[in-house]
Structures are given as C-alpha cells and as structure tokens.
Amino acid sequence: MSANDRPTGQQQTGTYDSAFLRACRREPVPHTPVWFMRQAGRSLPEYHKVRKGIAMLDSCTRPELVTEITLQPVRRHHVDAAVYYSDIVVPLKAIGIDLDIKPGVGPVIENPIRTRADLDRLRPLEPGDVTYVTEAVRMLVQELGSTPLIGFAGAPFTLASYLVEGGPSRNHEHTKALMYGDPQLWADLLDRLAVITSAFLDVQIEAGASAVQLFDSWVGALAPADYRRSVLPASAKVFESVAHHGVPRIHFGVGTGELLGLLGEAGADVVGVDWRVPLDEAARRVGPGKALQGNFDPAVLFAPREAVEAKAREVLDAAAGLEGHIFNLGHGVPPTTDPDALTHLAEYVHTQTAR
C-alpha cells in the first residue's frame, strides 16, 4: 500500500482529508499546512511549567504528560499537525542501553558501542518495552480528532553516532573511524538499529499515528558516496518495513543539501529540506514523485515581524511549483524563541496560501 491509498483503521477516519496528509500525498490543499519541528517543548512556558522537576527521559514515559506537551503547540499555534513528544534515544533506553539526557549537552552513553561484542547490547525492541508510547499515542489520537499526529524516530546513522561517540559530536571521529575501518561491523550495527527503529515506528503507527518522520540529524556530516554505501541501506530498510501501514513517511536531515536525492531514494514520501537550499532547487535534486517539507530558517524568528513575513514569502514563492509542500522550519524551534513569533508565522502562512 502506498501513501496515496486510503488506509483502513480508526486512526485515519478523521485525519485522512486533513491539509497535512493531503500535502504529503501531493493532493490539492485548502492552504499550505504548517507544523514546526520541536514545536512541543522548549520554547513554551507552559511546557516548562508541566515539566518542572521531571527529567527529560522520565517525561517521555508518562502518557498523560506526553499527551499534554504534544497538545500544547496545537492549542497555541493552530498548527496542522501534532508531533509526538519524545526523544530519539527513547527506544535505546527502552532496550536497556545505559544513557541519560544531560541538560545543555544532550544524550550521553555510559559505555559507547565500538566492538562486535558490544552489538549484543542492542536487542530487538518489543512493544511491551514501550507500553507508555502506545498509551500516549492512543490518548493523543482521541484528543486530536481531525488533527494528524506525526510519530517519529531517530535514523540508524544518527543513533549509531550517539552510541559510538558516547554523546553529541562535532566531527564524528569515532563514528567515521568505525564506518571506514570496519565496514562489516558498521553495517551490522546500522542493521540492528534499523530493526529497533522500525519496531518503534510500528508501535506508534499501530496506536494511531497518521504519519511518521525519520530524523537523521547528523547525516549531513557524510559525503554522498559514503551515504549511499554505508547509510542508505539501513534507512531504506526502515522505510520499507513500515510501508505496509500506508501512512506518509518523512525523511529529514540537517546540512543534507548534497544528499537530498538520496534521502528521497531511501524511500520517503516527503523529503525535509533545511534552509540552505531553496525549495525549487531542492525539488530538482530530489526529483518528481515526492512532496517537500521546509524550509524556513529558525534564526529568522528572532528578527522583526516584517522580516519574518518576508522570509516566509520567499519560502512560499520557491514552493509555488511543487507537487506538495508542508511549511516547516529548516530545523527545530530554538529554545529561546518567542512563542508569539511561531503563532504569527503559522497564521501568516495559512492566510497567504488560503485557496
């Protein structure tokens, strides 16, 4: 089943004809749909209020809290889709990897994975490992009604980079050393992560998510030839494994201007574009048959309103000839963003594109 077929299932009855899902399927829309990566969280005072005193990973395991945080930007900004509040390392924590998310740093792995023996620590993810995800998604689908919920997961390369480096990395020295120095171990590592990621997305889709996004945050560190040889097979495995659900699949990475065609080739229905490549040029690189998502520079949100509107207009003009377009940022919402700037941006795009 493709993303253009009407899937069966209760979760699709109210969301199938939403502007967001229509854009994913490259169908006519009443207006350009808008959502913002990292819209659920850091920039919202109501988020900080409900999460006060609760560690990041703990907050991801509390269905009522996940539901509230996921709904907050939908209420405030009137975006066209909600994105499930979680973190890309949640499935790794769920299978027993010793990690924590340290404020101001990010995910930190106690014992990095760098040898073949270390692979044994990456067991398959079972639905019973993340029952809190199933519960939260079901609660959200009920609350959201006709607004689609986007499930998400980290892509195998980005998860591997965290695991191998032991945390965030600027140059990915250990990751690339393993990828180049032991290609078979690298391939086996990414394959295991593809299985874990696929299972995590399956749980979200089966509980009611209307679409899924695969975040490959660090893959822009690679050259196209290295991506094709050492990363694309694992990402393609993830997209193929969830294809039978018939929900749109989005693929996003940062600094991936040279990889856009390959990101689409991996199997996504929608390719996310950061702010470095105009959408009309991105469409040329990706090729026909894919919708695009993006690509407003998040830093512009700190400029005066007139500048925000002018930059949004540039994005919309570049998207004018696309088969399908979902307005989003070229990366996540910065933590210090004024929430009113996001609310106004969503309203501006809706008004300017009303058909």
Q: Where are the alpha helices (DSSP H) in the chain?
A: 19-24, 45-51, 56-59, 63-77, 90-94, 131-144, 156-165, 173-181, 183-207, 224-230, 232-242, 260-265, 279-286, 305-318, 339-353
Active-site residue among 26, 38, 114, 192? 38
Active-site residue among 22, 25, 26, 51? 51
C-alpha–C-alpha distance, residues 112 and 222, integer Å? 21
User: Vertex 328, ends 277 and 252: CA angle to 5°?
Assistant: 65
Q: Is 162 annotated as a binding residue?
A: yes
- The verdict on whether 114 is a catalytic residue reads no
- The verdict on whether 170 is a catalytic residue reads no
- The verdict on whether 87 is a catalytic residue reads yes
Q: Is 236 annotated as a binding residue?
A: no
Active-site residue among 47, 84, 85, 162? 162
Give the pair of three-digit tokens for residue 34: 């808008």
Active-site residue among 25, 47, 85, 87? 87
Active-site residue among 42, 76, 123, 229? 42
Q: Is 169 annotated as a binding residue?
A: no
User: Vertex 57, ends 51 and 62: CA angle to 5°?
Assistant: 65
3-state secondary structure 201-221: HHHHHHHCCCEEEEEECCHHH
Q: Which of 269, 284, 255, 246 shows the shortest CA–CA distance to 324?
A: 269
Q: What is the DSSP string of 21-85?
A: HHHHTT---SS--B--TT-SSTT-HHHHHHHTT--HHHHTT-HHHHHHHHHHHHHHH--S-EE--
Q: Is 42 annotated as a binding residue?
A: yes
Give the pair of three-digit tokens for residue 134: 């199933």
- The verdict on whether 132 is a catalytic residue reads no
Q: Is 120 annotated as a binding residue?
A: no
Residues near 26 by beta carbon (within 8 Å), at least 6 away in sequence: 4, 291, 323, 324
Please state at what angle helix 183-207 crosses helix 156-165, rounded to 10 degrees: 120
- The verdict on whether 123 is a catalytic residue reads no
Dmax (CA) of the chain: 58
- Catalytic residue ranges: 38, 42, 51, 87, 162
Binding residues: 38-42, 87, 162, 217, 331
Where is the binding site for substrate, in residues?
38-42, 87, 162, 217, 331
